[in-house]
């Protein structure tokens, strides 16, 4: 037997073993990597030197065709694509492996983007759950699944929109693994939407503060799934807990059920500051647009209420047992103590071109007889043009005019004619706004009180001082007024008092009546547009 015939079976076996043992590495790199290992090496560049003596030639060639041996035929197989997932899940039980593989397919079945990232977060929970279903007990739905699905079908009651998601029909029984995943996705979407994920307030305006952080997807899912027959209540709890939100939710249900006034009459009654502009024609156009787009019909009032419910999601869940609220479109300030309004007063807010910012903070101190450090924008746009670039007349009236860090600075001292009046309320913030008195008292008689550069002027500031300092503080309105004089006097609050500068064009008053106000800065229209409810 020649050397060629003796070595052929060994070479075939070695090649087969190489292909089998190298499969994992080759799979990691892909098919091109496997092919490159079997290609002939590049030619060797030889450098001419002294001619070597002729070497004895072998009586065979490794590259000549040879006859296949029985062993070679045995290992000559068609390569099967390597499934690294099967290898990764090899140690799992059969039921766990089946779920893991199905979950991997499901999580990759949507394009890259936010929805795929959410599915990846959901998949991580299943992995932490030992690749077991979250919503199944044996071969049927768990009590948590039944209750959660019921709440999901009521999502529209809270102005939420889950129509793009698949909510399994739990009443039909015989759930599949994929149904478990789809229910998880719908629950996660509800949690996110209820927490305010649909509209980023900074896309509406840079003068709106950040919303509270969104809850963790996996942790929220685990919490709902563990709630048993109370899963629906836990889900509902991700919506704002505030009384005004609940009242708007009730009004939304009344309008949809037809138990409220018809939308046209109620809008006109609730919104005297904004005359109804051919509502019937606008409604007909909106209905036609919605029928073409396949979106659920929504009246103008429905859309406005939903947009306001959405803005409640931007507020802290705990407003504070005692707190201050300023509603910009309502031109009103309230002090709330123990769930009841302890003080209410009119305010003047920023003009359309100089809006009052929307954010939450905390009142910390009060200044009686404040000085006014004139903002640079007012110096450049108003004072200098008004005085022909010469502010010496202001200096003659006692104003401090000078230069600071290369910029013109102007300061009005305390006094009767000070632009801030006799008192201001400080809550240090990035927007440099605050509450204050004003010498222009006549402006409070206007219905639409948008006259300021962004700060909020208070109609009865000394009564407000007594309200925010609180009972038992020893500071009555009369005592605060006794500090009026020619120099600044400070009163520190015992504890920081939460203050929320809000923007609500729809709210329910103390008599249970729905009130709607002019969209002063256009924020509500932008929110409606973001929600797909029309601009």
Among residues 21, 323, 455, 500, the one annotated as catalytic is 455
β-bridge mates for residue 361, sequence order = 499
Instruction: Report how far residue 178's alpha carbon sits from residue 308's, in angstroms, rounded to the nearest whole number.
Output: 36
Residue pair 133/177 in contact by the 8 Å Cβ criterion? yes
Strands in 407-412's sheet, in edge-to-edge order, are: 372-373, 407-412, 400-404
Of 317, 121, 316, nearest to 222 by C-alpha is 121
139 is catalytic: no
Give the position of tokens 């632009």: 419
Compute the Cα dihedral for 337, 338, 342, 347 and give only its sign.
Answer: positive
455 is catalytic: yes
Instruction: Report how far residue 533's alpha carbon sits from residue 535's, in angstroms, rounded to the nearest whole number.
Output: 7
SS (H, E, C) 267-333: HHHHCCCCCCCCHHHHHHHHHHHHHHHCCCCCCHHHHHHHHHHHHHCCCCCCCCCEEEEEECCCCEE
Among residues 21, 323, 436, 453, the one annotated as catalytic is 436
Instruction: Report how far residue 178's alpha carbon sits from residue 155's, in angstroms, rounded to the nearest whole number.
Output: 22
Of 455, 449, 439, nearest to 375 by C-alpha is 455
Residue pair 201/209 in contact by the 8 Å Cβ criterion? yes
Tokens, residue 280: 């019937």
Q: Which helix (H) or strand (E) holds 374?
A: none
Which residues are identified as catalytic? 436, 455
């Amino acid at each position: 037997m020649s050397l060629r015939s003796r070595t052929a079976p060994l070479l075939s076996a070695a090649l087969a073993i190489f292909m089998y043992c190298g499969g994992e590495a080759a799979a990691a790199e892909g098919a091109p990597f496997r092919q490159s290992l079997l290609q002939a090496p590049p030619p060797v560049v030889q450098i001419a030197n002294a001619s070597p003596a002729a070497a004895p030639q072998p009586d065979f060639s490794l590259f000549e065709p040879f006859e296949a041996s029985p062993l070679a035929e045995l290992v000559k197989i068609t390569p099967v694509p390597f499934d690294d997932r099967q290898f990764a899940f090899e140690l799992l039980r059969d039921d766990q492996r089946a779920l893991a593989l199905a979950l991997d397919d499901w999580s990759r079945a949507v394009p890259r983007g936010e929805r795929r990232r959410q599915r990846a977060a959901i998949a991580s929970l299943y992995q932490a759950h030992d690749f077991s279903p979250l919503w199944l007990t044996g071969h049927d739905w768990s009590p948590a699944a039944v209750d959660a699905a019921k709440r999901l079908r009521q999502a529209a009651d809270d102005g939420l929109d889950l129509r793009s998601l698949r909510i399994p029909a739990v009443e039909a029984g015989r759930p599949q693994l994929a149904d478990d995943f789809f229910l998880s996705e719908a629950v996660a979407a509800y949690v996110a939407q209820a927490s305010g994920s649909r509209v980023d307030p900074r896309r509406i305006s840079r003068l709106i503060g950040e919303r509270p952080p969104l809850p963790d997807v996996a942790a929220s899912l685990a919490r709902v799934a563990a709630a048993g027959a109370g899963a629906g209540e836990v889900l509902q709890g991700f919506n704002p807990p505030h009384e005004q939100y609940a009242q708007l939710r009730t009004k939304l249900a009344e309008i949809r059920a037809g138990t409220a006034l018809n939308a046209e009459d109620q809008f006109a009654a609730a919104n005297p500051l904004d005359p109804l502009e051919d509502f019937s024609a606008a409604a007909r156009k909106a209905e036609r647009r919605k029928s073409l787009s396949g979106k659920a019909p929504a009246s103008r009032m429905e859309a406005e209420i939903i947009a306001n419910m959405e803005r409640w999601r931007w507020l802290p869940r705990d407003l504070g047992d005692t707190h201050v609220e300023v509603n910009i479109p309502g031109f009103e300030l309230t002090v709330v103590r123990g769930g009841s309004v302890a003080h209410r007063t009119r305010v003047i807010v920023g003009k359309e071109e100089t809006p009052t910012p929307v954010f939450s903070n905390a009142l910390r101190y009060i200044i009686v007889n404040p000085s006014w450090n004139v903002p640079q924008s007012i110096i450049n746009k108003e004072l200098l043009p008004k005085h022909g670039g010469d502010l010496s007349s202001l200096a003659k009236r006692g104003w401090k005019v000078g230069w600071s860090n290369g910029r013109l600075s102007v300061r009005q001292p305390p006094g009767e004619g000070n632009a801030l009046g006799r008192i201001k309320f400080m809550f240090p913030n990035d927007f440099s706004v605050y509450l204050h008195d004003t010498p222009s008292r006549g402006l409070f008689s206007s219905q639409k009180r948008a006259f300021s550069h962004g700060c909020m002027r208070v109609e009865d500031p000394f009564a407000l001082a007594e309200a925010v300092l609180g009972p038992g503080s020893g500071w009555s309105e009369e005592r605060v007024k006794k500090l009026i004089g020619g120099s600044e006097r400070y009163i520190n609050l015992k504890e920081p008092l939460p203050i929320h500068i809000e923007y609500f064009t729809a709210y329910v008053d103390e008599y249970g009546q729905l009130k709607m106000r002019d969209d002063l800065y256009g924020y509500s229209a932008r929110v409606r547009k973001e929600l797909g409810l029309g601009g």
